[in-house]
Amino acid sequence: MDKLLAGIESVNGAVNGFVWGLPMLVLLVGTGILMTVLTKVFQVTHISHWWRNTIGGIFKDRHITAHTGREDKQISQFQSLCTALAATIGTGNIAGVAAAIVSGGPGAIFWMWIVAFFGMMTNFSENVLGIYYRRRNLHGEWSGGAMYYLRDGLGAKKGCKTVGAVLAMLFSIFCVIASFGIGNMSQINSIAVNMNSTFGVPAIATGIVLMVFAGLVVVGGLKRIASVTERLVPFMALLYILGALIIVIVNIGQVGAVFSSIIKGAFGMKAVGGGIVGSGVAMAVQWGMKRGVFSNEAGLGSSVMVHSSSNVREPVVQGMWGIFEVFMDTIIVCTLTAFAVLSSGLVNLETGEVISQNVSTAFVSEAFSTVFGKAGAGFITIAILLFAFSTVLGWSQYGTKGFEYIFGTKAVKVYQVIYVVFIVVGATMDLTLAWDLSDTFNGMMAIPNLIGVLALSGTVMKITKNYVDRKLKGKKEKPMLSAFEDIQAEHEKEV
């Protein structure tokens, strides 16, 4: 078994190095830059509009939070956001940020911000395409995502039918496999390790308990998952933000030095950890981007699968929720984690050298302990439990949609049962291998998805311009709501 795991790790390391090399990072950030340009920097120029129509409208617009009827297979806009955030706000926001700082220095946080800024428009574009090309399945549920805009969008272009179909199938396969890595085993492993180190709970016990709880939710389908996440996500996010803010406020005198360290480290104005400057910059860029994508998932084509189940009719409206999703995950939660760690005294802000011997979540626990004492470790353990378990719930839906595309609607229960059983496997496996598998299949998912977004970038631009002209400039034009005439006609009556 050891030889088998060693072989898997060796092959995975080679693949991981390929999918997360310079070409991959250029593709990821380049796509975000292109979509930012084509939409005329929508995330900045229309910030007040997307803010008002997303989180700012929760208490004003009942359509955002209104639940659909029992027989209606759609979920509300707020539920789609919470389910997507449940999947994205996970160990990447805690362990991922710690790993970025340890391996890439404080400068990695700057590159995480850059990925997030442009990733907002990648996520926006994915959601716009997801709504525009979605279809209903045999159960009347919306099915949307990269596999559908690859097949029906890219595939509709002259000479691209086969390419679109092949890329759609590859994306679905990678999605199913990735769901067991980023969405399941790496998350559960983090919970098990922290529960054992903090409270002495055996990993197998943690795995079994979480398997039972997840089974009760996951097998119930999207509406049950959404009903849980819309309660869990706001609670866990606000709790963690409050804890991190307290640390930053206590260490408020270090904030300026922290920000300076991040900027200097990002551009090689000093060595990272006493190493060579050029190498330090490369590591800062690589780790900042890798952990940024792992955290907010922009470019993976993952969250669009749940956003496509929203009861929204305007593709751009759901696109704006995608902008907020990345903003909340990386700009707010990841940044607070970074500032809490960097201001705690565990990192030399002059050299970027990590003084602590701890890594991953233990590093963040130590930072929280500088203010909260022994309770700091317990706080991070509970945060990991909530963050990671919610990710397991959210990613179960992504894997379900990928499995549905490959094997059909009737086969999804098989996937859901296997997914739940693998929770026990994740609790007892090697953490390093779990993270490496996550990174590898993240990258493999991103490649076909980004090809689709780039190929359909003109479509996103047209849909966005159509929306801005109608909603912000008052022009009378026919709305672009769906690529399919029957759904377009249906939605026009409701808009």
pLDDT at 19: 55
pLDDT at 436: 66
Distances (CA, A) of 279 to 118, 274, 284, 478: 24, 11, 9, 53
Backbone angles phi, psi at 80, to 5 degrees: -65, -40
- Intervals of the chain under pLDDT 50: 1-15, 18, 271-279
Backbone angles phi, psi at 485, to 5 degrees: -60, -40
Q: CA-to-CA distance for 391 and 324, rounded, in angstroms? A: 18
Residue type, 426: G
Q: Compute the Cα dihedral for 71, 73, 77, 82 and give only its sign.
A: positive
283, 108 Cβ separation under 8 angstroms? yes
Token look-up 């229309």 returns 46
Q: CA-to-CA distance for 16 and 171, rounded, in angstroms? A: 17
399, 419 Cβ separation under 8 angstroms? yes
- Tens digits of residue pLDDT in 411-450: 999 999 999 999 998 888 776 666 666 667 777 888 999 9
Residue 435 token pair: 């993270």
CB atoms inside a 10 Å sphere around CB 28: 26
pLDDT at 278: 39
Residue 473 token pair: 């400039």
- Write the CB contacts of 104 (distance below 8 Å, at least 6 apart in sequence): 111, 272, 280, 283, 284, 285, 286, 287, 288
pLDDT at 86: 76
Backbone angles phi, psi at 7, to 5 degrees: -65, -45
HSE on the CB side for 369, CA within 13 Å? 14
pLDDT at 43: 96
73, 141 Cβ separation under 8 angstroms? yes
pTM for the structure as a whole: 0.89
- Write the CB contacts of 448 (distance below 8 Å, at least 6 apart in sequence): 146, 150, 167, 168, 170, 171, 174, 301
Distances (CA, A) of 271 to 112, 281, 353: 19, 8, 9
Residue 463 token pair: 């849909």
Of 447, 252, 256, 437, the residue nearest 349 (C-alpha):
256
Q: CA-to-CA distance for 409 and 426, rounded, in angstroms? A: 26
- Tens digits of residue pLDDT in 235-289: 888 999 999 999 999 999 999 999 999 998 888 765 444 443 334 566 777 767 7
Q: CA-to-CA distance for 353 and 369, rounded, in angstroms? A: 20
pLDDT at 15: 44
Residues 252-265 as b or e (16 or more Cβ within 10 Å = b): eebeeebbebbebb
95, 336 Cβ separation under 8 angstroms? no
- Write the CB contacts of 287 (distance below 8 Å, at least 6 apart in sequence): 99, 100, 103, 104, 108, 111
**Domain spanning 11-494: CATH 1.25.40:** no
Of 76, 81, 4, 11, the residue nearest 320 (C-alpha):
81
Would you list the DSSP string of 163-182? HHHHHHHHHHHHHHHHHHII
